[in-house]
Chain A
Amino acid sequence: QQQVRQSPQSLTVWEGETTILNCSYEDSTFDYFPWYRQFPGKSPALLIAISLVSNKKEDGRFTIFFNKREKKLSLHITDSQPGDSATYFCAASGSSGSWQLIFGSGTQLTVMP
């Protein structure tokens, strides 16, 4: 039973394009949604996060858009760079689950120069 779904599974874009990664969830008690980034051969690390009180969170070239009604989020990467090539995980947590993170299956992004 997948509580957090991500699409696409993999994506290739050209340098300079805007990348859009999608995430959806089912549990209405989730209220915190971090995105983790994992470079090949490395461990995941927090990239950016949003909570239920916001519709949008921006950090440099990375922006999360949040549609609470549809339980959907998207991570936009503007001016994508080859150095952004990594796997991106959407995650969710809520107080009902003792704040443990439920991870999606990830989107593998490749940015071509």
Chain B
Amino acid sequence: DAGVTQTPRHEVAEKGQTIILKCEPVSGHNDLFWYRQTKIQGLELLSYFRSKSLMEDGGAFKDRFKAEMLNSSFSTLKIQPTEPKDSAVYLCASSLPRGLDEQYFGPGTRLTVL
């Protein structure tokens, strides 16, 4: 049974570039979450989809961050343009939409912006 997969695992970008991170949720999960994790800010929610509908767009992250879920088994997070402060680990998680279900996290993408 495959867990959440994320690609790439590592990404190095120049300031101003566009990068796209990919996530495949656990099969059958309807909820998908994108988080950013840094030592200083901890886990910050970027986007939240339920059955492909965007439920939460992360407020402060709206301007350069765009998450999409084109089908129930694939999501992307686009950062455009990248800035050095975007350097972080980006985690994707999925769960069943029953409120009390565990969120399963992917291995993350470590992004470094030079």
Chain A interface (Cβ < 8 Å from any Cβ of B): 32, 34, 42-46, 49, 51, 89, 93, 95, 98-106
Cβ A105 vs Cβ B42 within 8 A: yes
The docked-state distance in angstroms from the alpha carbon of A45 to that of B43 is: 13
Q: How far is the CA of A73 from the CA of B63 in the complex (A)?
A: 36
In the complex, chain B residues whose CB is within 8 Å of the CB of A51: 100
**In terms of DSSP, what is the predominant structure of the interface of chain B?**
strand
Complex contact B105–A100 (CB within 8 A): no
Residues of B within 8 A of A106 (CB): 42-43
Interface residues of B in 26-51 (CB under 8 A from A): 31, 33, 42-43, 45, 48, 50
Is B106's CB under 8 angstroms from A98's CB? no
Q: How many residues of B contact A (CB 8 A)?
A: 19
| CB < 8 Å neighbour of A32 from B33, B50, B99, B105 | B99
Residue in chain B with minimal CB distance to A87:
B42
Q: Which residues of B contact A (CB under 8 A)?
A: 31, 33, 42-43, 45, 48, 50, 55-56, 91, 97, 99-100, 102-103, 105-108
- Determine which residue in A93, A99, A102, A104 has the highest number of CB atoms from chain B within 10 A of its CB, and name it: A99
Residues of chain A lying within 8 A (CB to CB) of residue B50: 98
The contact of B48 among A44, A49, A89, A100, by CB within 8 Å, is: A100
| Minimum CB distance partner of B6 in chain A | A43
Q: How far is the CB of A98 from chain B (nearest CB, A)?
A: 5
Residue contact A46 to B100, C-beta cutoff 8 Å: no
| Chain A residues in 8 Å Cβ range of B106 | 43
- Of the candidates A44, A98, A102, which one forms a contact with B105 in the assembled complex, judged by CB atoms under 8 Å apart? A44
